[in-house]
Structure 1
Amino acid sequence: MVMTYIQMPKDSNSESKSTENCSEKNSAGDLFSRFRDESRGAVLILLAIFLVPMMVFIGLAMELALTEDIRVKLQNTSDSASLASADLEQVLEPEDVVNDFFAKAGLADNLRNVTVVNTATERTVSVESDAFVPALLTRLAGRTGWDVPVVGAATESRRDLEIAVALDNSGSMSWAPGSTSGPAANPSRMDLLIPAAEAFVDAVQPKPGQPGTTTISLIPFATQVSVGEDLLNNFTVSAEHSTSHCVTFNSTADYTTTAVPTNTLLNRTAHHDPSSTGWDLNTYNTVCPTDSARRDIVAWSEDPEVLKARIRAMQPYGYTSIEMAAKWGAAMLDPSLRPVLSALSGTPGYEHLSGPAGRGMPYDFNNPDALKYLIVMSDGANTQNFDIRPPYREGNSPLFRLPGTNNYSYYRNRSGTGRDFYRVSGDYWSFTPGNGAVQMTWPEVWADMPVDRFVDSILSEADTSRSANGHYNRIVRTRTGTWKNNRTSAICQAAKDNDVIVFTIGMDTYGQGDATLADCASSPAYFYDVNGLDIEEAFASIARQINKLRLTQ
């Protein structure tokens, strides 16, 4: 088979279109190439424009971080050095302490200046240091480096302390630790309290040569608080008797203020034994104690030996009146008693108070250079206290006595019978009290016999219109738990409102009185609920906190 190839004629239009398409493709490629080349150049230009600032900013961040690291190290060293050198108990020279801190931190070359200012009560140390951090990448911006000046300063001041310590001397303090009832034991709670309180007195004293003072008022308490004759003489007090020296605060308002007014008449507690059944007064049942060497307040003392001697002399007897102890404790911290301290310091035998008086103590409550503390320790709840009601406190009584004997006659108007004198010893009514019989005043009656004996053996026999209890309650006002607890809360709150820091200790309370003592404290952490031997640690802990707060930096 013969194949014949036929060549078709070329289409001039097709060839022309093909040529045009190729030309267009070549033109587009050239344009893209040119754009690509030009874009690369632009990016390089942009990179060149932004690179230097970026490097500067990165360098700035790095240098600032390095500078801050060095500043923190300098600041920490300066602060630590100034704090340590400002310590008033520091035995080395402040400059030497600062130099040592910087040397150990490898910054000796960075220390520039140490300034020390000492006053009577404080020390201030200022430390100046600096460093120079060379520039790295920020040199591109023309910076040579960074100056790092640092100043550290510390002041430690030793503030004066005013402390009032109220210690329970009630009868239950004679019981054994861990016991909820008597009888007396050896060692007793009091035996454990005494060394703990003595150690506390020593612990809060300023160290020799150091600034700051510690003034302590000691308030032993039981049924009442014996203010003491010399201290009470600086108040305006009723004068029914002068046998003992207690005050009865009857008004609720008395417990809403820490002050005890010096120009307002105070009610002297009647000297009486409310509960003994014999004819003679029992010293341990007398409401206001007369053994001043054991029970009187020790006011504003700076002598730890005087305070410790009174603590060692304490003996347990009587009931528990926390509200009275807190009232007098708060009063010893109140600036309204400044004139009392001043006057007492001029009394023979009290010349040692010239120091506190000369400093203007008690200080104002807002004095930044002083701290005030009230410490109340008890082994149980408020129980009861007693006083004679006004009709039986003063003036002549209906009782007559033949001097030097126990022959008594009681007068009662028996409606015209004429026989108005009841002769106690013979149990009969007479026209007269007896030859030579002398009418007794009410204070003389209560100084002569217990109220119980007077009621049971005399009044109830002469006046049968009432029971013995009825007669007793007409004569004696008895305050018990709830009344006393409310007033404890009020006086503690008054102290706290005046920025007095209140610590309380419950020793072997077994829940009795815990709520009252906890409420009295400045915070739950300031109430110590302890058993037996723990009383020493409670006082030690309080002393540590006081000493820590005494120093301010």
Structure 2
Amino acid sequence: MSTGKSESHDPRARATPLRAVVAFWRDEAGVLTGFSLYIFILMMMIAGLTIDVMRYEAVRTRLQATSDRAVLAAADLDQTTDAVAVVEDYFAKAGMADYLEGVQVSKGLNYKEVEARVSAEIPTWFMNMSGIDTLNAFARSKAEERIQNIEVSLVVDISGSMGSNSKIQNLRTAADKFVRTMMAANDNITADGTGLTSVSIIPYHAVVSLPDYLIAKYNVSTQQEVSNCVRFAPSDFQSISLSTTDPLDRLAHFDRNNSNLYTQNGDRKIKRPWCQVGDYGAILPLSTSLTDLTAKVASLGASGNTATDLGMKWAAALLDPGTQSVVTDLITEGHLDGALAGRPVAYEDTETIKVVVLMTDGENTSQYDLKDSFKGTMSPVWWHEPSDEFFVYFQNRANQNKQPWWDVGRTPESDTNGNDAKYGDGDWDPAIERPDARQLSHAELFGTFSVRYISEYFFRVENDSQSSTRSTYRNAVTRYTGDGTADDYTEALCDKLKAKDVVIFTIGFEAPARGQTLMKYCASSSGHYFDVKGVEISQAFSSIANTIQQLRLSL
């Protein structure tokens, strides 16, 4: 029976599909929101931007690298090809010729400067979606090679210890290669002399000897003029410069240790003078001659104590502009190359590099000289030339019998132990007994006999042993600089040189701890110090020479 209501007209039945659609529309599960879509698009844009930037950077880096290599090659002063052509060739071979915008070249007597500009337009792959169609890569490179003047003081240890383990031979080999490398740079000297390298060789052991022509330029005392070594006052080590007018004390000419009588060409003379005679071991100042430099190196020997402070004092003086007047005189006299006019230049001269190369195989030891009372004075020894007899006579002694010195005439070839000697009778006077005898100066006495021989032959107490007499008499020879003091002097000079931007390289050649410490202190940096053994010294000198050449060519 019909109820009068149709199911199709049921409001709930008609609303069910609509509600399902609405429910579906409102269900957010698994749906990509607007924010998420924005983030996704942004990530894609960043990825695209990164790719474009990476492409840009790769091209720019390649441009810069090619440009850098091209200008470095073109700026080389040894490069004979036109600088512009060199740069263009580099870019052509790199397949980047279209990117080269221009090359600018500037040249002078001692320099060449090359500048290159490049640019490239790089199409974008992704950034064009945001309106950026290309990226512009730019590069600019500039290189300069400038020949610097070089002043070098090469300070080499020739003390006795260098005679062992083939050290002096290894030094000669290393130093020879060094000076050859340095002098090769003089092939590029410009018309006005720019780019000139000069090298002073300063050999040192217990002393530093000067050639006659160099010592003549200083106000050195003349108690003796046989050998040419200078004794400096403590204040002299507080300054790099060395005055040509202030008085300097010349070291006495004496042989401290040799025990035997020595003759040469019939003349008696000391065999091993503390300061050598002649050019052996003497300074070779400001040389531009490869022949002279290699000859000096080949002549180096080994003897004596170690006085690094003296070597550094002369090394500093030969770099100091205060020595210009000395150089001028030596040029005029023909001892130095005329191209050295104006050297040593001012420390502020930006066209010149000043360098010290200092090596040692040891450490500072004691330094000796005669006391002042034995310089420039007359000795108590008289010589009778016809009989070749020597007499000791103290004119200021009232009673000769109280003197414990020999005063009887005898010849050096007689009993050198003094067995036939006796005390004087108090009345002996050479002016009466030997009117033609001549009183010897101390300079003559110490230049003829060694200190040891004088003590044993002339002044030995009758019953004393030789060693006792030798020890007593050696008070006439005094140590005036100890090893620690010499270290202090050396350090003071190194400090002052470094303050003037002088570059100091040092080499400890099988040196003991204290010597190495001093070398490390003096070096301009830890990289300027070399600790070497045996033939490694050649490697050290080669490395130093190459470094100096790199400093010389400022890129």
* Cα deviation code 1:238-275 (max 9, x no counterpart): 22222111101131x32233222222211111111122
Is the CA contact (8 Å cut-off) linking 1:423 and 1:430 kept in structure 2? no
**1:283-432 superposed matches below 5 A:** 285-292=272-279, 294-346=280-332, 348-350=333-335, 352-357=336-341, 360-403=342-385, 405-415=388-398, 423-425=407-409, 427=422, 428=424, 429-432=426-429
1:214 matched residue in structure 2: 197
Q: 1:285 aligns to what SS in structure 2?
A: coil
Residue 397 of structure 1: SS of its match in structure 2?
strand
When residues 201 and 303 of structure 1 are mapped into structure 2, their CA distance, relative to the original with a 3 A threshold, is same
Match of 1:203 among 175, 178, 181: 181
CA distance in 1, matches of 2:376, 2:525: 44
Assess, with a 3 A threshold, how the Cα gap between structure 1 residues 139 and 479 changes in structure 2: closer, same or farther.
closer
Segment drifting more, 136-145 vs 436-445? 136-145
Letter matched to residue 449 of structure 1 = F
Look up the SS of the partner of 2:168 in the other structure. Answer: helix
* CA 537–418 in structure 1, closer or farther in 2 if over 3 Å, else same: closer
Contact 2:270 2:449 in 1 (8 A): no
Per the TM alignment, residue 114 of structure 1 is displaced from its structure 2 partner at its CA by 1.5
- Using the TM superposition, give the Cα deviation of residue 135 of structure 1 relative to its aligned residue in structure 2, in angstroms: 5.4
Select 1:258's aligned residue among 220, 224, 240: 240
Matched, 1:531 2:533: yes
Q: Deviations over 1:260-311 (max 9, x none)?
A: 222221111111112222344765521111131x222111011111111122
Identity %: 27
**Which stretch shifts more, 84-93 or 19-28?**
19-28
Matching residue's letter, 1:114: V
SS of equivalent residue, structure 1 residue 102: helix
Q: What does the per-residue CA deviation read over 1:180-210, in whole Å, with 9 as the maximum and x for residues that have no partner?
A: xxxxxxxxx3333223221111112216346
Q: CA 1:542–1:53 in 2, change beyond 3 Å: closer, same or farther?
A: closer
Unaligned runs of at least 5 residues, structure 2: 4-9, 263-267, 411-421
Hey, what does 2:430 align to over in structure 1?
A: 433
Give the superposition deviation at 1:25: 11
Q: One-letter code of the match for 1:323? A: D
Deviates most, 314-323 or 416-425: 416-425
Distance change in 2, residues 1:386/1:424 (3 Å):
farther
Q: TM-score, normalised by structure 2?
A: 0.80
Would you say how many aligned residue pairs link Structure 1 and Structure 2? 521
Does 1:272 pair with 2:254? yes
CA distance in 1, matches of 2:520, 2:383: 51
Deviating more after overlay: 54-63 vs 74-83: 54-63
Q: Distance in 2 between matches of 1:409 and 1:550?
A: 63
- Measured in 1, the distance between the counterparts of 2:127 and 2:470 equals 102
Root-mean-square deviation (Å): 4.0
Unpaired runs of at least 5, structure 1: 1-9, 11-18, 178-188
Q: 3-state DSSP class of the match of 2:337?
A: helix
Q: 2:168 aligns with which of 154, 179, 190?
A: 190
TM-score by length of structure 1 reads 0.80
1:42-101 CA-to-partner distances (Å, cap 9, x unmatched) read 969x99x99999998887665555434332222222112112222234454333332232
Contact persistence 1:223–1:321 (CA under 8 A)? yes
Letter in 1 for 2:430: P
Q: Equivalent residue of 1:204, what SS?
A: helix
